[in-house]
Amino acid sequence: MSNMINSLSNMRLLDDLARKETFIHRIHPLIKLLTTVVYLTVVVSFERYEIIGLLPFIFYPILIFAFAELPVAPILKMILLIEPFIIGIGILNPLFDHSKVLFGGIVISKGWVTFLSILIKCSLTVTASILLIATTGMDRFAIALRMLKIPKIFVLQLLLTYRYISVLIEEVSRMIRAYSLRAPGQKGLKWSAWGSFAGQILLRTFERAERVYQAMNLRGFTGEYYTGDIAKLSFKDLAYFAAWSLFFIIARIYNIPILIGSLFTGVI
C-alpha cells in the first residue's frame, strides 16, 4: 500500500510543481514540448558505443532544475524507480558483445560500453520527460498536443488516464486496507484472493467510469476537453527554442568534451 501512496504523492507533486511561476514555467507549452522532442531525438540518435559525446546533454536537465526551482530529491526518486527497467534492458549486452575496446586506459568489453550508453540515454530521456510535465502540467501539455493537430480522442484519453489514475490508486488502497482489517496479522493478499480482488477492481472501475462520464455530460462535455486559453507565442519563446536546438545540434555534430580536452592538451 505504501507504494501506491508514494505513486499518488508523486503525481500530485508534479501537478503542484507545474503551478509555480518561474521563467521556465512561463515558456509556452508548445515550445517546451518541441524542445523536449528535439532533445530526445538528438540523444537517441547517438550510436550504441557513444558515451563521452552524451555528456554535454546533462546540462539541459541541470539548467531546467535550476531555472525552474525544482526539488532534486523527489524527482530523482521518480527516475530511480525506472532505473531497474533500464538496467534490465541493457544488462544482457555484455553477454552478447564480447569484443574488446580501450576505454579510459582500460580494456573492457564493448557490451559494457553499450550498456552504459543505454543507461545514460534512457536516464536523460526519462529525466527530460518528467521535467516537461513538472514545468508544464498535463493540461497545458494537452494544449500543446492539440496545437500540433494531435487527434482530440488521443489527447482526451491521455488526460483522463492521467487524471483518474489517482482515483484508481485510491480505490485499490481502500480495498487493500479493508482486506487487511479483515485479516489481521496477514502480510499481503493470499493467492486465493487475487481473483476476486481483481474482479472487484474491474467492477468498481466500470462503475466509477460511468459516474465520471455522467458527471462530465451534466457539465456540458461534448468530446472536447477545454483547459482555458493559452497565450500566443512570443519572441522569448522562439529564442528559447532556437537556443536550445542550436546547442543540441552543435553537441551532436561535434564531440564537445574531446574538443575541450584537445584545447587543454594541444593534441588535435
All structural domains of the chain with their residue ranges: 1-147+234-265, 151-219
Asked whether residue 31 carries a pLDDT value surpassing 80, the answer given is yes
Write down the pLDDT at residue 27. Answer: 92
Residue 103: band (very low, low, confident or very high) from pLDDT cuts 50, 70, 90: low
Asked whether residue 168 carries a pLDDT value surpassing 80, the answer given is no
Asked whether residue 267 carries a pLDDT value surpassing 70, the answer given is no
Write down the pLDDT at residue 5. Answer: 52
**DSSP state string for 175-202:** HHHHHHHHSTT--S--GGGHHHHHHHHH
Looking at every residue in the chain, the average pLDDT score rounds to 82
DSSP 53: G
Write down the pLDDT at residue 135. Answer: 92
Please answer whether residues 233 and 196 qualify as being in contact, where contact means their C-beta atoms are separated by less than 8 angstroms. Answer: no
Residue 10: band (very low, low, confident or very high) from pLDDT cuts 50, 70, 90: low
Write down the pLDDT at residue 125. Answer: 94
**DSSP state string for 71-101:** -HHHHHHHHHHHHHHHHHHHTTHHHH---EE
Asked whether residue 63 carries a pLDDT value surpassing 90, the answer given is yes
More confident residue, 166 or 34: 34
Whole-number Cα distances in Å, 78 to 62, 123, 134, 151, 187 = 16, 11, 12, 29, 26
Per cent of the chain over pLDDT 70 is: 86
Q: Which of 217-224's residues contact partners 24+ apart within 8 Å by CB, and which partners?
A: 223/152, 223/156, 224/152, 224/156
User: Alpha-carbon distance 120 to 129, whole Å?
Assistant: 14
Write down the pLDDT at residue 147. Answer: 86
User: Alpha-carbon distance 224 to 221, whole Å?
Assistant: 7
Instruction: Give the other-Cβ count within 10 Å of 81's Cβ.
Output: 14
Write down the pLDDT at residue 113. Answer: 80
More confident residue, 255 or 56: 56
Q: Which distant-in-sequence residues (6+ apart) come within 8 Å of 164 by Cβ?
A: 208, 212
Per cent of the chain over pLDDT 90 is: 24
Please answer whether residues 8 and 166 qualify as being in contact, where contact means their C-beta atoms are separated by less than 8 angstroms. Answer: yes
- Phi, psi dihedrals of residue 58, rounded to the nearest 5°: -70, -25
Residue 93: band (very low, low, confident or very high) from pLDDT cuts 50, 70, 90: confident
Total H helices, total E strands in the chain: 11, 2
More confident residue, 166 or 7: 166
Residues listed for the chain? 268
User: Alpha-carbon distance 29 to 147, whole Å?
Assistant: 10
DSSP 43: H
Asked whether residue 92 carries a pLDDT value surpassing 60, the answer given is yes
Buried residues in 185-200 as b, exposed as e (16+ CB within 10 A): eeeeeeeeeeeebeee
Residue found by looking up cell 500540433 in the block = 148
Mean pLDDT computed over 165-181: 77
pLDDT digits (tens, 9 = 90+) for 209-263: 788 888 888 877 776 666 666 678 889 999 999 999 999 999 999 888 778 877 7
